[in-house]
Amino acid sequence: MKVAIVNYGMGNLHSVLKSVQASGQLQQIKAEIMLTSEPDEVYAADKIIFPGQGAMPDCMAALLKSGLAEALMDGLQRKPFFGICVGAQLLFEHSEEGNTSGLGWFPGCVKRFQSTVAVNNRPLKIPHMGWNRVHQTQQHPLFAGISQNEWFYFVHSYYLAPQESSLVLGISDYGEDFACIVGRDNVFATQFHTEKSHVAGLQLLGNFLKWDGTQ
């Protein structure tokens, strides 16, 4: 099994690579896990992990320039696919960050947290940074071994706003509830960083390595 971690110059990629390798060892899964910037290797992979950090306009520009956007769209149609942080945001049609168009795989947009929202009578701090609980709203194979309301690590100023409620697999609370896990068919994506989420993050990645892309 070949697993491609997509390298388009955006994200803590070596940390993601080490986390995926560690999760494979824990689950005793044999896989060739590669960090790649080559579209041909993404086309040839059996599974795709699509991480990202930074500004969405820069990320989208890098995808289009490298030719990776087309390889990702091919994978979204037929392979187990895992988006992380900005990699999840890029799956939507549009982002308020730089008025940027995404890949458009999921209907909906990416919105900015509003500092006018108050938490305990204090303005919401942006970015949302640190540990927060995740409530699973639907059953999914990737939740195996992960407790309800488990803690995961977040760093983001923008959040996922799916047009269809059926896409929402998990929510978190930051001033108000927001979607932090989305998915449909062979695609699963998280706003939080699995590679920074310790045991729970490794469990989620290990579940992905075993996943056949069906629910």
What are the residue numbers of the active site?
A: 85, 193, 195
> Cα(10)–Cα(95) distance, rounded to whole angstroms?
17
Strands 92-95 and 106-112: parallel
> Cα(56)–Cα(39) distance, rounded to whole angstroms?
20
> Cα(160)–Cα(91) distance, rounded to whole angstroms?
10
Which of 200, 198, 168, 163 lies closest to 182, judged by CA? Answer: 168
Residues 22, 27, 30, CA angle at the centre, nearest 5°? Answer: 80
Which of 166, 191, 193, 195 lies closest to 180, judged by CA? Answer: 191
